[in-house]
Amino acid sequence: MSIFSHALIILNNIFISFNFTHNPPMATRFLSEYGLRPLPKLHPNPRTRISISSFPSPIKPPPSKLFRPNFPALKVSAPAGVHMVDEDEKRVNGLKLGDSGFNPGAPPPFTLADIRAAIPKHCWVKDPWRSMSYVLRDVVVVFGLAAVAAYFNNMVVWPLYWFAQGTMFWALFVLGHDCGHGSFSNDAKLNSVVGHLLHSSILVPYHGWRISHRTHHQNHGHVENDESWHPLSEKIYRSLDVATRMLRFTLPFPMLAFPFYLWGRSPGKKGSHFNPGSDLFRANEKTDVITSTVCWSAMAALLVGLTFVMGPLQVLKLYGIPYWGFVMWLDLVTYLHHHGHEDKLPWYRGKEWSYLRGGLTTLDRDYGWINNIHHDIGTHVIHHLFPQIPHYHLIEATEAAKPVLGKYYREPKKSWPLPFHLLGLLTSSMKRDHYVSDEGDVVYYQTDPKLTSDSR
């Protein structure tokens, strides 16, 4: 061995000894750079703001030098009554980060394009024949259930029928929802016709809801701009009368909210899904809204006519009670997509909001046997980020994206055949998730102790 090699080894040992004592990160970096230890696998791409319709080029190979993003400091609103920093308990602004110290409000070290590149190409392919087969299956089941219930017509069968038919109405809604996203097929006319037939049959104005749901997806996770189940600011919350607060946060009333939301939206927002002049809609969308309102009215008229033919009690048993079962399914599922996680999830304002960061605050849920019946709508994170993916590819797309998402993906708790465990999550969330601060770019739900004794 040459004198130069001996000298290099001695200098290296001195450098390592000094830096592990005085600057461990620098020593680790030195060892990594000189091949004595592999470089940590960090994602190469910094955070970028990205629109829903634009995607950068696919992932590039990681650069040779260590990537260290320099993100701006976040303005975070902390729940009242908690201390700001406690490193021993791994808290940020009073919020527990868990054993890993992961902060869900931090900007992710990947882009929307990185997630998209990880999803197999065939997951984006829409098969209208396959989509129509699900429609046929659900329609046959709906009429079959009604025929069986009417035939037996006893109080043992009716409760089973109400649960099953309410679930099937919810399944019809999910297929109409896919039509609204364009994930049903690439044919806009087919999507519109099928969407109107499905949604009108369960008293949902197809275009009116489709457009407002588009607003929800484009602004998910934004305190002011989100459309459904978004947080109330503290100012709006305090302005509500006591009865309204109780109705909003006391079960089962929030699970019956959907028809009232269609007519009058949420507190703090104005407009109606039936009114073409509502600020929900653009000027060129008025004709669509009128068409959907007419279709809704035709279904309502058909139900009125059936009450004269079959009698009001029979229509109530065959349609009315299952309809409210569908409403409860819709409110339960959509609420739990954005609430009820064991760790508090962020909501955003201003410059801290982005389409990607907002979408990452959504949650997947497991519904056991119901997963297949309601077309895997519980596989929701990838759906929120890429609503163009058909429902029958969501599970595969999610599995492919998990390595990119890392800890920003929250694995859902496995369900029994029926998802009774979700009722506990719903109840606890209703007791603690009441409003967010009026200030702050990254905010978390806070609890009103006067509304409930549970102040967690």
What region does 81 belong to: left with phi over 0, alpha with psi -120 to 50, or beta?
A: left
Share of the chain above pLDDT 90, in %: 71
User: Tens digits of per-residue pLDDT, 94-133?
Assistant: 455 444 578 999 999 999 999 999 999 999 999 999 999 9
Q: Which secondary structure element, helix H or strand E, spans residue 443, and what is its range? A: strand 442-443
User: How far is 200 from 192, CA to CA, in rounded Å?
Assistant: 11
User: Tens digits of per-residue pLDDT, 330-382?
Assistant: 999 999 999 999 888 999 999 999 999 999 999 999 999 999 999 999 999 99
Extract the tokens encoding 357: 């960061």
Extract the tokens encoding 399: 């599995």
Specify the range with the lowest mean pLDDT, choosing from 19-33, 203-217, 254-268. 19-33
Extract the tokens encoding 153: 């017509």
Question: Do the beta carbons of residue 448 and residue 237 sit within 8 Å?
Answer: yes
Give pLDDT, residue 452. Answer: 67
User: Tens digits of per-residue pLDDT, 396-453?
Assistant: 999 999 999 999 999 999 999 999 999 999 999 999 999 999 999 999 999 999 886 5
Share of the chain above pLDDT 70, in %: 77
Residue range 37-42: mean pLDDT, rounded: 39
Give pLDDT, residue 71. Answer: 37
Side chain identity, residue 286 = K
CA dist 247 → 74, 138, 243, 252 (Å): 34, 33, 6, 9
Give pLDDT, residue 322. Answer: 98
Say if residue 252 is preceded by a cis peptide, omega within 30 of 0.
yes
Q: Is the pTM of this model over 0.75?
A: yes
Say if residue 40 is preceded by a cis peptide, omega within 30 of 0.
no
What size, in residues, is the chain? Answer: 456
Give pLDDT, residue 95. Answer: 52
- Identify the sign of the CA torsion 309, 310, 316, 319: negative
User: Tens digits of per-residue pLDDT, 14-24?
Assistant: 444 444 344 44
Residue range 241-253: mean pLDDT, rounded: 91
Going by C-alpha positions, the residue among 339, 292, 317 that lies closest to residue 176 is 292
User: How far is 179 from 176, CA to CA, in rounded Å?
Assistant: 5
User: How far is 25 from 44, CA to CA, in rounded Å?
Assistant: 19
